Amino acid sequence: MAATELAVPPRPRVWPRIAVVTGALVVITVLTTLPTLGGVEVDLDAIARNWGNGAERIGKLFRPDLSILPRTWEPLIETIEMALVGTAIAAVLAVPLSLWAARPSNPRAATRRGVRLVLNVVRAVPDLVYATILVAMIGVGTLPGIITLILFDLGIVVKLVSEAVDSADASYMEAGRAAGGTQTQINRLTTLPQMWPMFASQVLYSLELNVRVSAILGIVGAGGLGRLIDEVRGFYRYDSLATIIAEILVVVILIELLSNFLRKRLR
């Protein structure tokens, strides 16, 4: 009996599809940069004329002025405090909102859609717009910054956690309903234990974001390092700005290391 010959199937030709997609992206990019079609105007001539100014400022960023360090301690602590308080309050509020925004934990379509609609509106408004409005309403200080961070965190954490609940294993919840449990009991005994690891991970991630965001909010008067950043930028002190950027970088790296450690412990 002759052995059956096994033939390797021909490799599919994917380059035509890649060429079409690449060509389409190039055409779209070119069209969006043509001013005659209402695109973004890219003035290469201005870049060529002013590159020296940019190079000079970038050079100052590589020569940080450490004499500004004593002035940065208090705003830096204020920035960290804003990030911690905003994250903590947002984490508490995000637990019920995540349950209300997910289908398995909230079968009532009206309330679920209402929560999602409100969160979509919250997410659509930039954080600097929130800070600007709150500073005008409340006044200059850390409180507008903290409220802005709370809204910023809720928009991120609730969306990601509720989507994770939607895609999680719902067999435990169905078993709870079959046993006669109420929705509150089902959420407390089945949904929350599945949700905690994802929830904790997203809260830690939002804490990392809050340090960077809170450092910018001070530009509009919402406290933190932003006020000092705006001051040194106004006087073209890019060497001092480099020192502040380095401080923020160190704080973000430390928080990231702590977050990674806590994530490993929560697994």
More confident residue, 43 or 126: 126
CB 217 within 8 A of CB 143: no
Instruction: Read off φ and ψ for residue 42, nearest 5 degrees.
Output: -110, 105
**What average pLDDT does this structure show over 11-25?**
81
What's residue 19's pLDDT?
84
Q: Chain centroid to CA 189: how far?
A: 30
Task: Assess contact for 113 and 179: CB atoms under 8 A.
Answer: no
Q: In a 3-state reduction of DSSP, which class is residue 95? A: helix
Per-residue pLDDT, 2: 53
Q: What confidence tens digit (pLDDT) does each residue in 196-247 have?
A: 888 888 888 888 888 888 888 888 877 778 888 888 888 888 888 888 888 8
Residue 150 is predicted with a pLDDT of 92
Which residue type, as a one-letter code, is found at position 26? V
Residue listed under structure tokens 């905003």: 86
Q: How confident is the model at residue 93 (pLDDT cuts 50, 70, 90)?
A: very high
Report d(CA 116, CA 252) in Å as an integer: 30
Q: Which residue has the tokens 């960023």?
A: 61
Best CA proximity match to 202, nearest among 96, 95, 62: 95
Q: Rounded distance, CA 267 to CA 41, Å?
A: 49
Name the percent of the chain lying above pLDDT 90: 8
**Could you give all domains of the chain from N- to C-terminal order, each with its CATH number?**
68-266 (1.10.3720.10)
Contacts of 1 (CB under 8 A, 6+ apart): none
How confident is the model over 60-81, as a mean pLDDT? 86
Q: Are 152 and 93 in contact (CB under 8 A)?
A: no
Interatomic CA distance for residues 124 and 173, integer angstroms: 32
Average pLDDT over the chain reads 82
Q: What is the CA radius of gyration of the chain?
A: 26
